[in-house]
Structure 1
Amino acid sequence: MWPLRQMLQPRHVLPIHFDNIIRINILMMQVKYCAGKNIPFFAQNGGSGWAALNLTNGIIIDILPLNKVTFNTDKTQATIGGGVSVAEAMAAGAAAGAFILTGNCDCVGALGAYLGGGYGNLMGAYGFGVDNIISFNLVNAEGELKTVTEASDPDLFWAVRGAGPNFGIVTSAVIKSYPDSNLTAWSTALVFPGEQITDVVKAVEALRPNLKPSQNVFLYLTNNNGPVILVTGFLLHATVEEGKAAFAGLYALNPVFENSGVLPYAQWNAGAASFCLREQRKPGHSVGISQLHPEQWQEIWDRYVEFRNKPGAENSVVIIEIYNLAKGRSIPSSTASWPHRDVNAQAIVIPWYTDASLDNDAIAFAQKVRNIWKSTETKSTTYINFAQGDEGLEAIYGDSLPRLQTLKRKYDPENRFNQWFNIQ
């Protein structure tokens, strides 16, 4: 979120104002203008991508004002504007008494997260974000607005759900929502000293294949007046007793700090608020992994401590995200272009600092940690929303890449949409 690309200066930022119909018409005209003048452009909502952005002499089209959320009568479908943030989507869901699958960081664009695959706290119950899209409105390379469904255009519906920014600007989407009389989950935060790194990793790995359907666990190397290990846990609809029982193996390690409780839906992401800080350098690197290897983690810890001890780098973080994937894997991979349902966990390293003189050290640190994880994997995979840009298209798009490239030539032959892991 706001990595090195925050320093790149586009030629202009074009906002969209007025009501939604006028906003979308302006957006269509902006795309036509840029295409006609051969000006590079990029649509932005949350501005939270980690990848480098090559738009030093182009235009960013700001779609933040497209931020309405509406529901159908029975609250089983929500229409999400292209400018809606995760926080806005969750607040609307809470007010309507219905869950909306979102990412876990409030400032991220809700639909941007969806179109890349869509991890989130509710995926154990409802699948990935791409599985919850019913239809979407898209401004294409000709500046035309079209509504896309699986029935109306199965190829484009498939392609956008995994590689959306290559095919157009999604102005809104109709997604599944889930009415619920109990919009709560149990959450915990457990802190351990660095000396316990191997034991904590063993406990997290033991939990990974045994997660309950709506349970997830995250492992962090992070800062709390010094480097510490943080484990967070989530269990939908659980009581305090049920939650602690589900994470008994970690509680047995006697954390030095524990904070747990039942949280309302709109507050689930509060613990990740620091990730939304702007004007920071965060060149994140990540890879999908099949499991945690405890023997790797003393070296990872040592490298983390070495880098975060540099002046100004104390907020750097290493993250493992693990979800119950049974629901998502029950849906065939062929239904969407997003290819990585078989990945068991997301491994992420984020050097975090403000001084540009640390750039080289930061990249070296991140690549070293990522390479440790990759050394025990049989193939390299990267979740597009966590990607840096040096991974290669095969790691991002997997087996979907050849078909995506064919469809790119059909739907965007001039390669107008070329700023986000361009598949041409």
Structure 2
Amino acid sequence: MLFSRALPVTCLALAAPVTAWAQSFARSATGTNITALFAPGLSPGASIHFPSDPDYANETIQRWSTYDPPTFVVTIKPAVYTDVQFIVKQADRHNIPIYATGGAHGAEPGFGNVKHAINIDLSNFNTTDLNTATNRLTLGPGIVFADLYDLLYNAGKEIPTGNALCVNMIGATIGAGVGPLQGLHGLIIDALRSVLIVTAAGDLVTASDTQHPGLFWAVRGAGANFGIIVSATYEVYDAKNNGQVIEADFQFLPSANRSLWEVLKSWDSSYPAEMGLTIGAGFNRSGGVPTLGASVSFVGTQAQAQPYLDKFLALNPILSRVQSIGWNQLAIQSGFGSALRVCTRGQYANHYGVGANQTNVNVFTDVYNRFAAFSAARPWYAGTMAVQRYSSAAALAVPISKRGVYPWRDIGTLIEFNNFYDGPVHDAEVDAFCKPARSDLLAVSGFPTPHVYINYAFGDEGPEVWYGKANLPRLVALKKRWDPKNKFGAGNPIYL
């Protein structure tokens, strides 16, 4: 077991004075001496880190967003599954809150309700095991999308992943998981075959279709509420088109936005399974103008993709690029190679999301224009508006008994406001723009009730929107069984 800047347990007495202060703070925050409580029960590879340690930011996973974050008295990095079990049990005995960190990409305001917690940093669980004979991939909660691209591509395999290469695979999975390959293979949860999860009781449980199937149902869409997943096994697929995709990027004048929404609307009733689309809007501070672009991925040949690309070319883009690449390069190449921006940690950021199955050109145009005006008038704002379009056919083809709790497989278009700005002094202004814009988009979404992909949710929508009203009785019953003290799920809680 390691402690404070990875010092061996035998060197505790030699720790710097700042560590003594950290211990004092931890004791005052929780009424407990953290090291004395946890160090004896951890494995030799585990480590304890206090926020006051000089190397804390380098030794522990830092949050992507500083918006209304949880607060920690200490971070413990377990090395083996029994470490996680011990931490959960020991924290429960002493009534200390816990919080598990995989990729640290969540930004819901509910996380701010987690105070003086033990942060369980899962980054040591960063292994992958690919079996090409059985088409199974097992991985830990320290794995992000980028860790999988070359591994699978080089083996002639693929799996649905999201657009941002730095997002945690398991974290995205338990919210359903959308991305450019979902038209061919369904959501990421549709590839999930089992999980090893440490429950609120500290038990290590396998959940699958055959073992604890109720828990497995809940994990697929509401997993953050039921424990700490320490391993997940997925089915992988033979790569389509030898793993090659057409990737195309377009940049338009802002005046083309209505025409771009008309292109999107033309696919409302029929959309190719092979194609992923992201339309992005922002504001160029150096040029003082709004921006508008589109990125397309198409699993197929140039000739097969061309009729769809021609619709964008007809709008006279001011910049365009079309290339054939391996699917493993999609995330890094998309958007003229701008993907890394969303991976910067420590930004003050939140997001609002809407799910739709139709395009109202008038409302989309109006919201874009309002977004551009809002951005132009506020030099402190660096947010974006993203509209993603994927085929929902494969997700809807999954039998109901295999689907999990995620209720909104019929979403075809996802709209998200990704808000980046300088701090809480401007929260009210951002909310005052986003909430009416979200309401206007929901009103023309094509759905009778609000739909939101939970990983894009702001956090104020409520359980009926996150999980579906019809699912709540079963979810509540499972929550009472597996997490009766509400240890987990602060971001999108299931209320007991």
Q: TM-score range by the shorter chain?
A: over 0.9
Quote the offset at 1:148 in angstroms: 1.7
Distance in 2 between the 1:143 and 1:134 partners? 22
Q: Which residue of 2 aligns with 1:130?
A: 189
Correspondence 1:177 to 2:236 = yes
Matches within 5 A, 1:357-368: 357-368=425-436
Q: Which residue of 2 aligns with 1:241?
A: 303
Quote the offset at 1:317 in angstroms: 0.7
Q: Which residue of 1 aligns with 2:472?
A: 401
Bigger shift: 96-105 or 161-170? 96-105
Distance in 1 between the 2:401 and 2:134 partners? 28
Q: Which residue of 1 aligns with 2:256?
A: 196
Which amino acid is the alignment partner of residue 72 of structure 1?
N
Which amino acid is the alignment partner of residue 204 of structure 2?
L
Matches within 5 A, 1:4-403: 4-5=66-67, 7-17=69-79, 23-52=80-109, 53=111, 54-74=113-133, 76-180=135-239, 182-224=242-284, 225=287, 226-236=289-299, 238-270=300-332, 271=334, 272-313=339-380, 315-335=382-402, 336-377=404-445, 378-398=448-468, 399-403=470-474
Distance in 1 between the 2:373 and 2:118 partners? 39
Question: Could you list the runs of 5+ residues in structure 2 that have no partner in the other structure?
Answer: 1-62
The 3 A distance-change label for structure 1 pair 355 and 155 is closer
Quote the offset at 1:351 in angstroms: 2.0
Distance in 1 between the 2:150 and 2:201 partners? 34
Instruction: Give CA deviations for 1:157-202 in whole Å, capped at 9, x if unaligned.
Output: 1111111111111111110112337122111111111112111101
Distance in 2 between the 1:133 and 1:8 partners? 29
Q: Is the 8 A contact 2:65 2:345 kept in 1?
A: no
4+ residue stretches of structure 1 with deviation over 6 A?
Answer: none
User: What SS does the corresponding residue of 1:11 show, helix, strand or coil?
Assistant: strand
Quote the offset at 1:414 in angstroms: 2.0
Which amino acid is the alignment partner of residue 456 of structure 2?
F
Instruction: Using the aligned pairs only, state the percent identity.
Output: 27
Distance in 2 between the 1:376 and 1:124 partners? 24
Quote the offset at 1:409 in angstroms: 0.8
Quote the offset at 1:334 in angstroms: 4.5
Q: Is the 8 A contact 2:206 2:212 kept in 1?
A: no
Instruction: Give CA deviations for 1:228-276 in whole Å, capped at 9, x if unaligned.
Output: 211111111x233332322322221111111121122222111322111
The 3 A distance-change label for structure 1 pair 369 and 97 is same
Which amino acid is the alignment partner of residue 481 of structure 2?
K
User: What SS does the corresponding residue of 2:267 show, helix, strand or coil?
Assistant: helix
Using CA pairs below 8 Å that are at least 6 residues apart, which structure has the higher relative contact order? 1
Question: Could you list the runs of 5+ residues in structure 1 that have no partner in the other structure?
Answer: 18-22
TM-score by length of 1: 0.93
Quote the offset at 1:96 in angstroms: 2.8
Q: Is the 8 A contact 2:97 2:115 kept in 1?
A: no
User: What SS does the corresponding residue of 1:308 show, helix, strand or coil?
Assistant: helix
**Which of the two has higher C-alpha Rg?**
2
Q: Which residue of 2 aligns with 1:20?
A: none
Which amino acid is the alignment partner of residue 406 of structure 1?
A
Q: Is the 8 A contact 1:2 1:279 kept in 2?
A: yes
Equivalent pairs counted in the alignment come to 418
Q: Is the 8 A contact 2:179 2:276 kept in 1?
A: no
User: What SS does the corresponding residue of 2:322 show, helix, strand or coil?
Assistant: strand
For the aligned residue pairs, the C-alpha RMSD in angstroms reads 1.9
TM-score by length of 2: 0.80
Q: Is the 8 A contact 1:194 1:301 kept in 2?
A: no
